[in-house]
């Protein structure tokens, strides 16, 4: 499991700048005024080969009792509850404030491992200005500059220290032939209904239901001889033989389940359309490189006009998941569920497809014979050979000269040819270009 780090502090201290620095994402908002409302942002970070999840929170005023500020405080409390460690961010330029004191008091009660990051301290690693922050009683202040990327590595090393050293060890081998599935989707899309339907179907043999552990719900089952493992799905709890939705939906759990899966089944609620949250989850799935199958659930509940509208909106809003097969299902009425299994198995097979160097090289050469890459400046990119660089997602590494000049359009053309040859469905395909020096 990836450790989770929450960034907490009053508005404008530099939390989202730090978030962007840690995740290298362009996703979070950075704005130069106080009190901007914003959602929590979640991103993947990496230090060496250690991965973690970062949560950026809005500005935090623990004692607020009304309006937007109260909502932001609630969001922050939830982020802290989900986190393994908290980075409390303060601003050396404005100095210690009463609000910082309030937040420190709250964090002490929250009883999470907390690190104090004194931001905007570019070029001030031993300035006397840092000393006053000792007063917060949050341990040694870590001077950082989120904007200039200073001190962040050593801060992260301290935060991640208990989660084990950086290592080059391979992860433990996976159970062979078991397809790991995460069912993702916001509350109420029908996740527990679908899972209960699956488990209730005769042809599904649940062969290893875990005991009564309240939270960990991974379920192994078999269909037509294929083993599946349904991994912990956010927002569900097992009660006896059935799963039920619980109120608290955890984005962190969703992200961890996605990271742990081979194939993500992304559920969309037909009666609600594609929401921002759906699009966010989908974007995250795309970044993760996992295989994806999209299912629009509650297809039974909408009429033909609404169906048409919905299809258009999906085409538009989830265009970046074009490679994912789209299924229309009803978990409640048990419609469309058989093809879904096949789609997940196909996506898995595509994600783990073995591609040999001779075949890839021939495909690349045929593609070039059919259509050459355009000249870039004086030279024309020359594609020489290709090999497979990874699986889940499959990565094709193409070697040659002057490959900097290969356009995105041409890359997509190559991707299309490789996809067609190997009949890849439901998985992203990454193409990497390596020019000989």
Cα–Cα distance for residue pair 288/255, rounded to 1 Å:
9
Closest CB to ligand GDP among residues 234, 424: 234
| Bridge partners of residue 41, in order along the sequence | 56
Contact between residue 181 and residue 230 where contact means Cβ atoms under 8 Å apart: yes
Binding-site residue positions for GTP: 9-16, 56-60, 119-122, 185-192, 232-236, 297-300
Q: Which is nearer to ligand GDP, 235 or 393 (CB)?
A: 235
Q: How far is the CB of 436 from ligand GDP (least distance, A)?
A: 40
DSSP line for 128-178? GGGGGGGGG-SSS-EE-BTTTTBSHHHHHHHHHGGG-----PPPPPPPTTE
User: Least separation, in Å, of the C-beta of 351 and ligand GDP?
Assistant: 25
Contact between 191 and 268 under an 8 Å Cβ cutoff? The reply is no
Residue with smaller CB distance to ligand GDP, 314 or 431: 314
Question: Phi and psi (nearest 5°) for 287?
Answer: -60, -35
- In angstroms, give the least distance from the CB of 119 to ligand GDP: 5
In whole angstroms, how close is the CB of 36 to ligand GDP at the nearest point? 7
Q: Residue 55's beta-bridge partner residues?
A: 6, 42
Pick from 130, 140, 142: nearest CA to 93: 130
Give the binding site for ligand GDP (CB under 6 A). 9, 11-17, 30-32, 59, 119-120, 122, 145-148, 185, 187-193, 235-236, 245, 297-298, 300-301, 330-332
> Min. distance of Cβ 108 from ligand GDP in angstroms?
21
- Within 318-373, residue ranges assigned H as helices are 337-351, 357-370
Rounded to whole angstroms, the maximal C-alpha distance in the chain is 71
| 224 versus 333: smaller Cβ distance to ligand GDP | 333
248 or 412: CB nearest ligand GDP: 248
Pick out the residues of the known binding site: 9-16, 56-60, 119-122, 185-192, 232-236, 297-300
> Nearest 5°: phi and psi at 152?
-80, -35
Cα–Cα distance for residue pair 313/317, rounded to 1 Å: 6
> CA 109 → CA 36, 78, 435, distances in Å?
26, 14, 55
Rounded least distance, CB 49 to ligand GDP, Å: 26
CB of 282 to ligand GDP, least distance (A): 16
Neighbours of 157 (CB within 10 A): 13
C-beta closer to ligand GDP: residue 23 or 193: 193
| Distance of closest approach, residue 63 Cβ to ligand GDP, in angstroms | 18
Least distance in Å: CB of 211 to ligand GDP?
A: 22
Tokens representing 178 are 């078991």
Q: Are 101 and 136 in contact (CB under 8 A)?
A: yes
Percent helix, percent strand, percent coil in the chain, to nearest 5: 35, 25, 40
Indicate the helix (H) or strand (E) that contains 397. Answer: strand 395-401
Distance in angstroms (rounded) separating the CA atoms of residues 36 and 31: 8
Q: Closer to ligand GDP at the Cβ: 205 or 301?
A: 301
Nearer to ligand GDP (CB atom), residue 188 or residue 361: 188
Select 293 or 355, whichever has its Cβ closest to ligand GDP.
Answer: 293
């Amino acid at each position: 499991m990836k450790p989770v780090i929450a960034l907490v502090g009053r508005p404008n201290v530099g939390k989202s700048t730090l978030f962007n620095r840690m995740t290298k994402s362009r996703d979070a908002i950075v704005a130069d005024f106080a009190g901007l409302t914003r959602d929590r942002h979640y991103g993947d970070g990496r230090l060496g080969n250690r991965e973690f999840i970062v949560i950026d929170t809005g500005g935090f005023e623990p004692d607020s009792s009304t309006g937007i500020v109260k909502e932001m405080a609630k969001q922050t409390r939830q982020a802290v509850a989900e986190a393994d460690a908290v980075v409390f961010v303060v601003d050396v330029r404005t100095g210690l404030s009463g609000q910082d004191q309030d937040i420190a008091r709250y964090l002490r009660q929250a009883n999470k491992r907390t690190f104090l990051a004194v931001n905007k301290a570019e070029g001030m690693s031993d300035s006397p200005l840092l000393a006053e922050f000792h007063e917060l009683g949050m341990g040694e202040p870590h001077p950082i500059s989120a904007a200039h990327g200073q001190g962040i590595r050593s801060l992260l090393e301290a935060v991640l220290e208990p989660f084990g050293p950086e290592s080059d060890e391979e992860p433990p081998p996976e159970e062979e032939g078991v397809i790991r599935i995460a069912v993702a989707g916001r509350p109420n899309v029908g996740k527990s209904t679908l899972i209960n339907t699956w488990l209730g179907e005769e042809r599904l043999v649940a062969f290893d239901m875990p005991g009564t552990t309240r939270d960990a719900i991974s379920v192994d089952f078999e269909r037509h001889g294929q083993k599946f493992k349904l991994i912990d799905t956010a927002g569900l709890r097992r009660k006896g033989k059935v799963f039920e939705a619980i109120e608290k939906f955890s984005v962190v759990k969703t992200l961890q389940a996605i990271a742990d899966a081979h194939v993500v089944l992304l559920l969309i609620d037909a009666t609600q359309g594609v929401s921002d949250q759906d699009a966010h989850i989908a974007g995250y799935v795309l970044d993760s490189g996992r295989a994806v199958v999209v299912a629009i659930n509650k297809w039974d509940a909408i009429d033909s006009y609404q169906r048409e509208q919905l299809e258009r909106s999906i085409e538009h809003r989830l265009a970046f998941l074009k490679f994912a097969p789209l299924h229309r299902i009803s978990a409640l009425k048990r419609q469309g569920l058989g093809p879904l299994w096949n789609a997940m198995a196909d996506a898995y097979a595509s994600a783990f497809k073995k591609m040999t160097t001779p075949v890839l090289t021939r495909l690349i050469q045929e593609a070039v014979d059919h259509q050459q890459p355009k000249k870039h400046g004086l030279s024309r990119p020359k594609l020489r050979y290709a090999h497979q660089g990874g699986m889940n997602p499959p990565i094709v590494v193409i070697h040659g000269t002057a490959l900097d000049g290969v356009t995105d359009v041409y890359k997509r053309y190559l991707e299309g040819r490789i996809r067609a040859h190997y009949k890849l469905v439901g998985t992203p395909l990454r193409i990497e270009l390596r020019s000989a020096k």
